[in-house]
Structure formats: C-alpha cells, structure tokens
C-alpha cells in the first residue's frame, strides 16, 4: 500500500468529520462514524488482497465512503450521502495524483454504496461494488450485535418481546443469506459473518425459550 496516500486520506477524513456541526454536538456519533470508516477500510483491504485489486485505492474509497457525514443531512440526506461523499472526495482525490479513470471508479463506488445510484456515469465494476460490500459486511459482526441489542433496549424488554425480537432477527438474517456480493471474496466473507450472526441468534433464541419453564413439560402434561 501507499502509506503516504493512506495517511493523507485519514487526515482528510478526520478533518472533515471534525468540521461537522451535528457530529461535534454528538461525540458518540462522531466516534462511531470514524470507527466504522476504519472497519470498512480494513474489510476493503481484505477484499482487495483476495481479488487482486489495488489495496491503496480500495482502502481510500472505503475510508471516504461516509465522509459526507460532515454535513447536516436534509430530508433525503441519508439516501444522498453516498453521492455527496463522492462529490466531497473527488477534489481531494485529485490532490493525490491518481489517474482520472481511477478517481472516477473510486468515486463511482462511493456514490453507489447506499442505493446503487450515482449522479454521474460509471460502471458497476467489481472494484466499485466492493465499497458497498465492505460497508454491508461491517453490518454483520460482533459490534453490530452489541449495538443493536443496546439500541433496542433488549435487556429491559419482557421475555415475550425478547423472544419476538430474536425471531424477527432470525427471519431477516435468513432472507439475507442469498444477498449477492460483487466478488467471490466478499461473498465468502458475507457467508462467514452471516453464519456467525445466525449462530448467535439461534443460541439466544434457544436460551430464551428455556427461560420460562422446563422445556417440553407442556407437551408431556397434554399427553397425561
């Protein structure tokens, strides 16, 4: 990797996030956005290694995929944040001396990572798709399990609500099993992480089902 380019990108990302009004008013959200960007960049690097992509370029693209969080989101802010991130990233990328065609592909990958749409022409190459793939992969890991349970107030829910929540999660995760990725590397990582997610929630489901009585005794009582 070109460590100088990576360092300059990290500094740019931090500088932009430091200038965000909302992020400065919400330090936890600011810390999360930076941490998430690093996790996505590391996933992008792993995909690049396995697929033979340029590691520097994919790490840079992943670092900057959410740089638009430095702005205040309007009504469609979340849906637009990929396209806005590409617009913010492009002038910076030009200072790195990357070839124009590489800047275009990096920006296209950033632009489409939210809703598969860009506001400029481009091709859905495996490299470009890898930005969104890395972002999605970070949604399926240990940190997200913890975050989701905390946000849902899981510990405060009564047992029936806990059970219902876990069953909904399992149903959704099984639907995601066939989600297509842009590369074989990302597909393998997705399966590995999804298997871990499913295993966790299946074990949690079983534990909750044994939390209100002796398992199987209801059926035994019916027979007698």
Q: Which has the closest alpha carbon to 65: 33, 29, 97? A: 33
CB 29 within 8 A of CB 19: no
Please, what is the end-to-end C-alpha distance for the chain in angstroms?
70
pLDDT in tens, the chain (224 residues): 999 999 999 999 999 999 999 999 999 999 999 999 999 999 999 999 999 999 999 999 999 999 999 999 877 778 999 999 999 999 999 999 999 999 999 999 999 999 999 999 999 999 999 999 999 999 998 999 999 999 999 999 999 999 999 999 999 999 998 889 999 999 999 999 999 999 999 999 999 999 988 877 655 555 55
CA 151 to each of CA 6, 32, 144, 155, 195: distance values in angstroms, whole numbers, following the listed order: 33, 14, 10, 10, 22
Cα angle value 17/106/121 (rounded, 5°)? 115
Spell out where the chain has E strands. Answer: none
**Looking at residue 168, what is its pLDDT?**
96
Say what the pTM is.
Answer: 0.90
CA 207 to each of CA 112, 114, 201, 203, 214: distance values in angstroms, whole numbers, following the listed order: 40, 35, 10, 6, 12
Residue with tokens 């992943």: 62
CB 122 within 8 A of CB 104: yes
CB-based burial label for 32 (10 Å; 0-12, 13-18, 19+): middle
Distance from C-alpha of 23 to C-alpha of 70, rounded to nearest angstrom: 7
Distance from C-alpha of 91 to C-alpha of 103, rounded to nearest angstrom: 10
CA 52 to each of CA 23, 33, 42, 58, 84: distance values in angstroms, whole numbers, following the listed order: 35, 28, 15, 11, 28
**Looking at residue 214, what is its pLDDT?**
84
**Looking at residue 29, what is its pLDDT?**
94
CB 4 within 8 A of CB 12: no
**Looking at residue 74, what is its pLDDT?**
77
Task: Provide the token pair at 94.
Answer: 């030009």
**Looking at residue 181, what is its pLDDT?**
95
**Looking at residue 177, what is its pLDDT?**
85
């Amino acid at each position: 990797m070109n460590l100088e380019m990576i360092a300059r990108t990290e500094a740019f990302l931090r500088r932009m996030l430091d200038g965000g009004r909302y992020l400065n008013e919400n330090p936890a959200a600011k810390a999360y956005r930076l941490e998430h960007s690093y996790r996505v960049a590391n996933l992008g690097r792993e995909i690049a290694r396995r697929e033979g992509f340029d590691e520097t370029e994919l790490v840079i693209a992943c670092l900057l995929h959410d740089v638009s969080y430095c702005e205040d989101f309007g009504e469609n802010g979340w849906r637009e944040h990929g396209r806005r991130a590409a617009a913010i990233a492009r002038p910076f990328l030009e200072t790195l001396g990357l070839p124009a065609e590489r800047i275009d592909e990096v920006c296209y990958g950033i632009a489409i990572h939210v809703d598969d749409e860009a506001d400029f022409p481009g091709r859905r190459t495996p490299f470009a798709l890898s930005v969104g793939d890395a972002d999605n992969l970070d949604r399926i890991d240990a940190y997200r399990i913890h975050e989701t349970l905390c946000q849902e107030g899981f510990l405060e829910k009564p047992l029936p609500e806990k059970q219902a929540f876990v069953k909904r999660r399992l149903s959704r995760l099984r639907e995601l099993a066939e989600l297509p990725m842009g590369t074989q590397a990302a597909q393998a990582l997705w399966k590995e992480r999804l298997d871990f997610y499913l295993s966790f929630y299946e074990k949690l489901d079983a534990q909750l089902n044994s939390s209100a009585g002796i398992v199987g005794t209801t059926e035994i009582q019916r027979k007698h």
